[in-house]
Structure 1
Amino acid sequence: MNQLTGVISDRGSRYAVSGGPVRDSAGVEAFLKQLKRARKFARATHNSWGVILPDGALLKGDDGESGAGMVILRMLEREALTGHLIVVTRWYGGKHLGGDRFRHIQDCVRAYLEAFAP
């Protein structure tokens, strides 16, 4: 599992990004379960994720951050990256970020791809 923590901080909200290879939906579930074993990720406000499975299936999870999974999926499609799950974690800081939250998700995914491009 690859991780970047403290990627973005804005108005009290903090972001991290994690990822790794997965083959199927069971792999996604196992990855998320392992991620949440770390108390700080289990207590995060949102763990949004997206993956294009090797068979072409698109899977995503917003975890309460409406639209976040689709943002991640679109970026994976542009990169033609399959079989690799990316999770953007947000700890809510008390102030709404509006549309900036989508820019932050994109920045997290971009940072992940630059650091760990498979």
Structure 2
Amino acid sequence: MLKNFEEITKELTDNERDVLYPLIVSGLSRRKGKQNSISGSEICEALNKRLNAKKITPPRLRKIIQAIRINGDLYNICSNSKGYYLACSKQEIDDNILSLQQRIDQQQKIVDALRWQSNQTQF
């Protein structure tokens, strides 16, 4: 769980783990290659329409996909500005790793700046 984002980063609910998780694994397994990516909003819309019950939100979808990636239940899930897909080549994986690392690096710059600013400020 992330501080200040507890509601959207809490552990998976029973419904998310038992119902949504396998549906997402199944759906993403057919999305091979960048050209077959599907956006998070498209996934949410399809699931919400199909289940007609508990609504899945984009942050919770990201949490479920994070779990799928970490658990290794579906290999090589990549993402870009167009959505999620399974890598078809080492290059697609390498590009995705680079993109993730660049985002981490940018977040670290923000952390470093806030720490410096906090030390410069008298509250």
After TM superposition, is the score higher than 0.5? no
Which structure is larger by alpha-carbon Rg, 1 or 2? 2
Q: Which has the higher strand share?
A: 1
Greater RCO, 1 or 2 (C-alpha within 8 Å, sep 6+): 1
Q: Which has the higher helix share?
A: 2
**Scaled by the length of structure 1, what TM-score is found?**
0.29
